[in-house]
Structure 1
């Protein structure tokens, strides 16, 4: 039974969502080819249930274009360093474009040489990391996906924002079972969940963040004025520093707390990324690798359950099941989200987003 206090949901098909995003992007000067890539990546997040990194990010991206701190018309540029190493200069375009080019290059090198590594500089937020992992999986590759982000976490023992809530992601293909897809932030919760709660007028769990005075809070607005909390204490803090080393220090992008917040219109974000693609059959036959992955999957999901647990899931499996469901039923949004998106359409004379049913 549905809770009467739960906001009414409006459903949009993935196709209609992509069409809407492309229209808003091209209306803001983004070339059609680039708009298609961004739309595909954004909708992939909503389909997987990662609503914090989906279509609701479009207004903030468009605001940065209007404020002149995100390059709408440009494209990233690839520089080959060695046969298995390349760098992408994002030229302050969408992070989706830089990441797509970076992983494409890493996959291409790996197909020839077994491994490919790409560093990305001068980029922007690229949404959900899992779509980049899926790009590698679709090419039959294993992968690592790192990025840094604007300061939101204290280092362990501190109280100032210094490290980003920077996700670590990786993946490996399988045979008959679900592939392995890990996409996680080093914080107790992703910062996007706090923005989502604020947008929807909801509270957050008190163990997610501290307010500006260093006190636990369930108010998302107060949390955004304070700091996120790292998962596992010093372990989460160390992971966030690792992301900064590989994504910021190595690439030549901003690091050590100097990545610009995506909601700060004062200057470009200067985000850095790091991608590795690996052929899974480097040390054994591909079919043997897939059989071993299938065996690992079965061992995980069939392992003995703790009290109260009805089903075990492989990393990324819940999101894959959500994608299957939302592909059938549509992506749910609340009224305030639909209204905010339609404001963006109105600004460029595009059609409003098509709601399938509610």
Structure 2
């Protein structure tokens, strides 16, 4: 691992994005979001993505100087067409509208289409919860980049279709409660991160075409290389995969019907992914007293923290060793990395260094 200060990484990431065609202001905003993902422990959605964005730009599926536009707007609803801009711009635009409308009307919904890659959805959830609003979202990939099989199958029919929810804690905690989860056993980016770290995959994460556990992430290939490598399992795996399948179906249709983009089955599944989504925000103050809600949060947190951490009960392959509230791991990681810097896998450092050399940009990974 190579460790780097967040501010230096942001400057470097913005420089690379500008070379890929992004205007300076856009590059800076995207870099902030990418480094925020690295800071909170989500390497899969951090600067690791920049080479992929470069490929998307080269293939014409990401337009680096595009800006999102509001296509429909009425009352507490709106539809944002990303215009194939950087998804980090689209997410910001959607959140701005969502917060404004929910603050005015008590509840708001924003459909999103053509957003390329929205990045870490937890970032948008946190921004809404910071305004003392509740948040819920459904995200899909508009029929492209399918990597997840339904329960009982090895045929890819979904993306990882994340569902995200957030609740403000009314100053009872230094972070909002944010659940940001794939409806598959694991997000696809976690497989990239495992390969970058040289780690094997847990047997319950993915499956070969023959139905056997797929544990070598280097065998997975690209989501655009046909059906040779198998699929990621739905959330619940071999025990309760029907539940993850059901959640994936709902995320697919909420995002597609309300965002307006195509759903799986309406376009070439080997094409690039293009996020669509439906974001919801609710002002809890319209439903009761904030002081009462703060007391409720405090009581629940105390109740939750009273649970024991039993050494013989596993929390899961992607979880820590003790019970944590949703969003707590990200908060703890961000605090640590503010002091110690952001660790990057060597494969990511190599890819970014090669991209920097291609554009004759000085990289920050050595002091030379």
Q: Normalising to structure 1: TM-score of the pair?
A: 0.90
* 2:247 aligned counterpart, secondary structure: helix
Q: Could you tell me which of 187, 191, 204 is aligned with 2:188?
A: 191
Aligned 8 A contact 2:349 2:365 in 1: no
Aligned 8 A contact 2:196 2:346 in 1: no
* 1:170 aligned counterpart, secondary structure: strand
Superposition pairs of residues 67-78 of structure 1, within 5 angstroms: 67-78=59-70
Report the CA distance between 1:163 and its aligned residue: 1.0
Q: Could you tell me which of 326, 334, 345 is aligned with 1:323?
A: 334
Residue 276 (structure 1) aligns with: 280
The answer to whether the aligner puts 1:152 opposite 2:147 as a matched pair is yes
CA–CA distance in 2 between the matches of 1:279 and 1:154?
Answer: 36
Structure 1 vs Structure 2 CA RMSD: 2.0
Q: Could you tell me which of 216, 223, 230 is aligned with 1:226?
A: 230
Superposition pairs of residues 14-163 of structure 1, within 5 angstroms: 14-149=6-141, 150-163=145-158
Aligned 8 A contact 2:111 2:260 in 1: no
Report the CA distance between 1:226 and its aligned residue: 1.1
Count of aligned residue pairs for this structure pair? 344
* 2:285 aligned counterpart, secondary structure: coil
* 2:363 aligned counterpart, secondary structure: coil
Q: Could you tell me which of 339, 344, 358 is aligned with 1:333?
A: 344
Change (3 A) 1:151 1:203: same
Report the CA distance between 1:311 and its aligned residue: 4.2
Change (3 A) 1:18 1:229: same
CA–CA distance in 2 between the matches of 1:311 and 1:256?
Answer: 37
Residue 307 (structure 2) aligns with: 303
Q: Could you tell me which of 171, 176, 180 is aligned with 1:179?
A: 176
* 1:153 aligned counterpart, secondary structure: coil
* Deviation string, structure 1 residues 285-313 (Cα, Å, up to 9, x no partner): 22322221122212111234445577432
* 2:212 aligned counterpart, secondary structure: coil
Residue 355 (structure 2) aligns with: 344
Residue 246 (structure 2) aligns with: 238
Report the CA distance between 1:199 and its aligned residue: 3.1
The answer to whether the aligner puts 1:249 opposite 2:257 as a matched pair is yes
Aligned 8 A contact 2:2 2:365 in 1: no
Aligned 8 A contact 1:92 1:268 in 2: no
Report the CA distance between 1:325 and its aligned residue: 0.2
Aligned 8 A contact 2:88 2:118 in 1: yes
Structure 2 unmatched ranges of 5 or more: 222-228, 314-320
* Deviation string, structure 1 residues 15-51 (Cα, Å, up to 9, x no partner): 1111111111111221222222211111111111111
Change (3 A) 1:146 1:99: same
* Deviation string, structure 1 residues 246-283 (Cα, Å, up to 9, x no partner): 1123322121255777xx6xx55332111011112111
Aligned 8 A contact 2:76 2:105 in 1: yes
Aligned 8 A contact 2:154 2:208 in 1: no
* 1:230 aligned counterpart, secondary structure: coil
* Deviation string, structure 1 residues 40-86 (Cα, Å, up to 9, x no partner): 11111111111111111111111211222211111110134211000
CA–CA distance in 1 between the matches of 2:366 and 2:165?
Answer: 34
Aligned 8 A contact 1:148 1:247 in 2: yes
